[in-house]
Structure 1
Amino acid sequence: MEFANPEYQEEYELMIGETLAVEPEILNLPETASFSWKLNGNEISTDQNLDYVPEGSGTFNLQFKAVAGNDSILRSYQVIVNDPYDLYFRPKTESSSAFISEIFEYKPAPGQYINDTYGTLEDAENIVGGKSNTLSLGAWGGYFIFTFDHTIENRTDAKDFVVYGNAMSGLSEPGIVQVSFDENGNGVPDDTWYELSGSAHQLEETILNCEVTYTNPTEYANVPWIDNQQNHDSIMVNAFHTQNYYPQFIDEEDEVTFIGTRVYPTINSGGFVSIDALEWGYVDNFDADYNSYGGNAMEIDWAVDEARNPVDLRGIDFVKVYTGDQGNAGWLGEISTEIKGASDLSILE
């Protein structure tokens, strides 16, 4: 029993969460052979080939041993596991801004403000650096993605950032927030997204995997939509906005599909239409703390993965906000989350 190649890769370097895969090729291997992989002396596998996901960072000694009767072979490796936060965390400095520094993407769903006031690419850029301009995300699913000039740190026992909207008592249009850390360090939001799970995420009527497709009417006309729950309707036009409500500046010219969570705030119809706030965890939502922050204060610890399990994020670089309800508020038009900006609470406080 011997290794097929005397020369081998002696060092492996990877990130936390990546899989360490090692496949030693052995000649004259008896069927009775047993195997042992030890990381810093602790056995982590008894298979011939190793597939292991390290849980912590550091430099480790990895040892492989194959035993068959009185015969044994041994091989050692060095494993360097990097923590992406140590590599790519961007600390704030004295010159850091509290406000949004860059918009990466603006893809609204159809709505009365889209292609018009509050719903153009220029309006999206005007959100950068302050909180005085307004951006509409259109109907359910419409979103925008932004970043700051530093990583937003997850503070212990404190809210982390605030998103400003135009909510008021009796008029909430709740938006859902997702966050991401730049774990590959390339400066663009192509990493894993985690949703901030608010109070309504636990309710029975909430749809966690909603999918809606909107079709471009190519003119000022109702915009039809259909979802994966077999519902279909339209975003209704009104006399106050007479442009095409389908976003004309996105790549999807004919139809666009959004995927996410749908929540159901209470819409009170009648002579005066009102929309009740959800309890907590949403933006453009007049919750109990809205006046205190001038917007909705968000907590990174609310983040969950796709299986709805809590995740431990030390900080985040990218934020995505999307309209959370597919509702018609009568003469007010479709429910559409509006955003005026966002800021890092650690700088403001």
Structure 2
Amino acid sequence: MNNRFKFLVYLACGLLIISSCKKEGAEIPDTPPVISGLDSAYYVVVKESLLLKPTVENKVDSIVWVLNGTRAANALQYNFVAPATAGTFSLVVTAYNRGNIIQKVIQITTGQYLNRETNANTILALEASAKFAGKTDVKWEVVTAPGDLYRLTAANTTALFTAVDKGAYKISVSSGSLSDTLLVTVKQATQAPSPYISKVFDYLPAPGQFVNEMPKYTTGDTYETMLAKVEKELKGEDASVITLGGWGGYVVIGFDHTIVNVAGRRDFRINGNAFGANSNPRPNAPFGGSCEPGVVMVAYDKNKNGKPDEDEWYEIKGSGNFGADKELWYSAAVNGKVDVRTFRNYEMTYNRPATETPGTPDNYTSIANYIQWKDNQGQQGYKIKNTYHTQSYYPGWVKDNQLTFKGIRLAANGVDESGSGSYYVLYAYSYGYVDNYPNVHDNSGIDIDWAIDKNGNKVTLPGIDFVKIYNGVDQENGWLGESSTEVSRGEDLHLLGTNIATIN
């Protein structure tokens, strides 16, 4: 082996040894840091500050904050102070460790007002800033708005806001010399809300002549299948009609959005099938005909669980909820020996009929002692079965042999104007009920501001998501049968562009 060849061999071995040593001594990169706890965008009022405190996982050697290209801090947190003029800022936070560089870009917008965003027909919870802590006289006011279809309800340092129209709403918050201005930007939801009923949550009619027919009960139907049938009848624009049966029977419906409680206007309407009499013999009679008022309860989804809860219901105070003596037909009802008493905490229990086999017909009566009932006022009796409706009047899907309902029993409004039982007129209450006026009449509209709590105190709601209707009258009207509230299409009047002034 010549010397030159030996030299090349030795050189190769040396290089191999050096290379191996370098690989063994090379530094291993750290696990990359993870930055969290920071939003991608912030809004800060001018002259206010924003403290950014990220959560950093894994080892970090340095965190650098760069604002609009200029190094602003080298620290675990950064306090951004908004200048006196509005603007937009790009903030880059960079975390370093051995072998890694991780960045997060944040956009900060500054402006004159506190900024919030929400969708139309959605309740937004607002809270006054920390400087109002301890104040008991905080006032909230909408200063500017794109329209008047909104509601702001306040309780000192907190408030609820909702609006129909998109746009910017400027809201002032004040207490003595302290003041803030909030800018609420209302956007339209991706899917436009429907002005009509979207869901039926519950249905239980009291015994009545249209029960098991509206909607049709088929042997084997369960509560769930009947609920689906009711929803099919009531959902959407092309709704049909269902019955609530006798006193207390009810349905609970919902909308796919919050119906805004607009001040000074009626907010929604639940259609029925009320109509006026063509040949009332009473001179100058108030409106009446087939008016079968259903009491209205409302609720908004406080806990956002998408369904009505028992502690969320409020009563719509119709004109007769505490007595009918102010109604224009009251004296006629008294003279006609109609039961005009009003019971606020009424209960009635219906028993399953002992038989469906008709006896010998007596005029319009098929079974005189048909459905036994009793109430919490010491009264009892039987509901008759008439010759015009031969199906069972007791809900076919109900397994219990008794049904008990609770609520307000309104004064009976049906008067035999013929004096011989041939012509009954069911007079309308002034306002506040379902199936009480024809659907096109303004008095079929409901104002959410008529709501009261269980103690009769007025409440101010921002809007409502759910409605319960139950038959408010217990009265047999001769051959016409019982007063039975019927329910059809539900309407958000604001989404439909219908403006009906309220009654205070």
Match of 2:483 among 326, 335, 344: 335
SS of structure 1 residue aligned to 2:390: coil
Q: 1:199–1:279: 8 Å Cα contact kept in structure 2?
A: yes
Q: Check conservation: 2:346, 2:406, Cα contact below 8 A.
A: yes
Deviations 1:60-111 (A, max 9, x none): xxxxxxxxxxxxxxxxxxxxxxxxxx9xx99877621111000001111001
Q: In the superposition, relative to structure 1, how do residues 343 and 218 fare at CA in structure 2: closer, same or farther (>3 Å)?
A: farther
Give distance in 2, aligned partners of 1:322 and 1:329.
Answer: 19
Partners of 1:124 and 1:224 lie apart in 2 by: 30
Moved more, 258-267 or 155-164: 258-267
* TM-fit CA distance, 1:123: 4.0
Identify the residue that residue 144 of structure 1 maps to in structure 2.
251
1:180 partnered with 2:299: yes
SS of 1:322 mapped into structure 2: strand
Identity of aligned residues (%): 39
1:316 aligns with 2:464: yes
Q: How many pairs were matched up?
A: 269
State the partner residue of 1:248. Answer: 396
State the alpha-carbon separation in 2 of the partners of residues 305 and 241 from structure 1: 39
Q: Distance in 1 between matches of 2:476 and 2:189?
A: 42
1:35-114 equivalences under 5 Å are: 40-41=133-134, 56-57=157-158, 95-114=192-211
Choose which of 331, 337, 344 in structure 2 pairs with 1:208. Answer: 344
Q: RMSD of the TM alignment (CA)?
A: 2.6
Structure 1 runs not aligned, ≥5 long:
1-15, 17-38, 44-53, 59-85
Name the CA shift for 1:216/1:55 in 2 (closer, same or farther; >3 Å). Answer: farther
Is 2:205 aligned against 1:116?
no
Contact map agreement 1:101 1:128 (CA 8 A) in 2: yes
**TM (normalized to structure 2)?**
0.50
The 1:298/1:119 distance shift into structure 2, 3 A limit, reads: farther
Structure 1 CA distance, aligned partners of 2:187 and 2:485? 29
Q: Secondary structure at the match of 2:348?
A: strand
Residue 55 of structure 1 deviates from its aligned partner by 5.5
Cα 1:277–1:42 change in 2 (3 A) is closer
Q: Secondary structure at the match of 1:331?
A: helix
Tell whether the 8 Å contact from 1:141 to 1:258 is kept in structure 2 after alignment: yes
Aligned to 2:384: 236
Taking structure 1 as reference, are residues 93 and 264 closer, same or farther at Cα in structure 2, changes over 3 Å only?
Answer: farther
- Indicate conservation of the 8 Å contact 2:412/2:474, yes or no: no
Provide the secondary structure at the position in 1 that maps to 2:440. helix
**Structure 1 residues 91 and 113 mapped into 2: Cα distance closer, same or farther (>3 Å)?**
farther
Q: How far 1:219 sits from its partner (Å)? A: 4.2
Q: Which residue of 2 aligns with 1:271?
A: 422
The equivalent residue for 2:314 is: 194
In the other structure, the counterpart of 1:292 is: 441
Distance 2:189 2:453 in 1: 27
Q: 1:259 to 1:345 in 2, by over 3 A?
A: same
Q: Residue in 2 aligned with 1:302? A: 450
For residue 373 of structure 2, the aligned residue among 205, 210, 225 is 225
Distance 1:200 1:131 in 2: 31
Query: What letter matches 2:440 in structure 1?
Result: N
Distance 1:255 1:92 in 2: 46
- Contact kept? 1:265, 1:325, Cα under 8 Å: yes
Per-residue Cα deviation, 1:1-35 (whole angstroms, up to 9, x for no partner)? xxxxxxxxxxxxxxx9xxxxxxxxxxxxxxxxxxx
Q: Pick the structure with greater CA Rg.
A: 2
Hey, what's the Cα distance between the residues in 2 that align with 1:146 and 1:231? 32
Q: Which residue of 2 aligns with 1:50?
A: none
Structure 2: distance between partners of 1:343 and 1:337: 17
Aligned AA for 1:254? N
Is the 1:160–1:297 contact (alpha carbons within 8 Å) kept by the matching residues of 2? yes
Q: Which moved more, 1:275-284 or 1:263-272?
A: 263-272
Q: Which amino acid aligns with 2:474?
A: Q
Is the CA contact 1:92–1:150 (under 8 Å) kept in the aligned structure 2?
no
Q: Deviations 1:153-192 (Å, cap 9, x if unpaired)?
A: 1011111001101001111011000001111111111142
Deviation, 1:235, is 2.3
Partner of 1:62: none
Greater relative contact order (CA < 8 Å, ≥ 6 in sequence) = 1
Aligned partner of 2:431 in structure 1 is: 280
Provide the C-alpha distance between the structure 2 equivalents of 1:200 and 1:93, rounded to a whole number of angstroms. 42
Q: TM (normalized to structure 1)?
A: 0.71
Amino acid at match of 1:283: V
* Closer/same/farther in 2, CA of residues 218 and 185 from structure 1, 3 Å limit: farther
